[in-house]
A = this chain, B = another copy of it.
Amino acid sequence: MTSPSRVRIAVDAMGGDHGPGEVVAGALEAARSGEVEVLLVGEEEPLKADLTKRAGGRQVPVAVVPSQGVIREGESPVQALRQNPRASVAVAGGLVKAGKASAFVTMGSTGAAVAVATFTMGTIEGVERASLGGPIIGLAPRTVIVDLGSNVDTRPQQMLQFAAMGAAFARVLLNVLQPRIALLSVGAEEGKGNRQAKEAYALFKSSGLEFIGNVEGHDLLLDPPKAEVVVCDGFVGNVLLKVFEGVGAATAAFLERRLGSVDGKALAQEVYDLYNVTERYGGGPLLGINGVAIVGHGRARAPAIAEAIRTAQRCVQMRLVDRMREELGRVKTSTSA
């Protein structure tokens, strides 16, 4: 099944809330393009049986790699991985480390994904820990927000790294040639913000980045955006990520109550999806990792899983990691100069 032009991607079949069936279906959908091969990592026998059934006699570039058990959301990732080094996400990461796959994708525990990616691939030089970032609002699909919760109490220097990695993300995944960078704060002017935002402002100004200044909460909803990359502390980013999920659910419920019809239900679903982008449209790469690891939403269904696999493929083909390394080198040079 090997083909030199195909990108081989390890997919954690056991992560995700809807079980391996959705992952198998997503893998088959992604593989249909002919551009990826998928290594499905999980319980061998049931996966093989499911795959055979769903493939329906077709030759498909999807194979199964056995693993044992799964790390659940909520478990302490490091401890769980120590107790179970053959868990699906760990085996998926191991395939990348061994050069048998170019990326891994998981819809399971984010903490476990970060731990596995960090352990198997390491971080890019100068980066302490992986970051999560990406567009999280369907109404503003060209706004990358970093960090979304991996890093709290961040130093301004780390926020500069978020900016650099966010710029690489925008170039590779959103086709933005010259991403503009902004800081999220409580006023547009330079003097506005908390200590962290003010210090970061000074650093960003002298960083050589395409820095446009501060944006405020309402600017996150704009399309076209004021800035393609919005940098914030992971505490704020994680609160926002979950706020938007809540907005989607609550507004959808309101619309359904208010319209109470088949049309209402469809419209409610659309609005729900606008604020639950990851669940609907797959997942994003861990930023700062020296390799491609895609973390998706536990509630993702087959189409979103296929999309996450395509995202992995694109990150590999477009050399996201090299782009991040370049961008990180640029801010390093310009701030130390």
Using a CB–CB cutoff of 8 Å, the interface residues on chain A facing chain B are 139-140, 149, 152-153, 184-186, 193-195, 197, 216-222, 232-236, 238-247, 249-251, 254-255, 258-259, 267, 270-271, 274
Contact = CB atoms under 8 A, between A and B. Distances in A.
- Identical chains in the assembly: 2
Contacts of A239: 184-186, 216-217, 232, 236, 240
Contacts of A235: 185-186, 193-194, 197, 236
A218 B193 contact: no
Given A149-B186, A152-B194, 13 more contacts: A139-B251, A139-B254, A140-B250, A152-B195, A153-B195, A185-B239, A194-B235, A216-B239, A218-B242, A218-B249, A232-B239, A239-B240, A251-B271
Contacts of A242: 186, 216-218
Of A194, A221, A241, A251, most B-chain CB atoms within 10 Å? A221
Nearest to A137: B250
Contacts of A238: 186, 217
Contacts of A217: 238-246
Contacts of A139: 250-251, 254
A153 B243 contact: no
Nearest to A245: B218
Main secondary structure of the interface of A (DSSP, over half): helix
**Among all A-B residue pairs, the 7 with the closest Cβ atoms:** A217-B242, A218-B246, A221-B246, A217-B243, A221-B250, A152-B194, A186-B238
B247 A270 contact: no
A271 B274 CA distance: 15
Contacts of A247: 221, 244, 247
23 contacts: A152-B194, A184-B239, A186-B235, A186-B238, A194-B233, A216-B242, A217-B239, A217-B242, A217-B244, A217-B245, A219-B246, A220-B246, A221-B250, A222-B246, A235-B236, A236-B239, A240-B240, A243-B243, A247-B247, A251-B251, A254-B274, A255-B267, A259-B267
B271 A254 contact: yes
Contacts of A244: 217, 247
A238 B247 CA distance: 17
Contacts of A193: 152, 235
A194 B153 contact: yes
Contacts of A140: 250
Of A140, A185, A186, A234, most B-chain CB atoms within 10 Å? A186
A234 B149 CA distance: 19
Nearest to A237: B186
A267 B274 contact: no
Contacts of A251: 139, 251, 271, 274
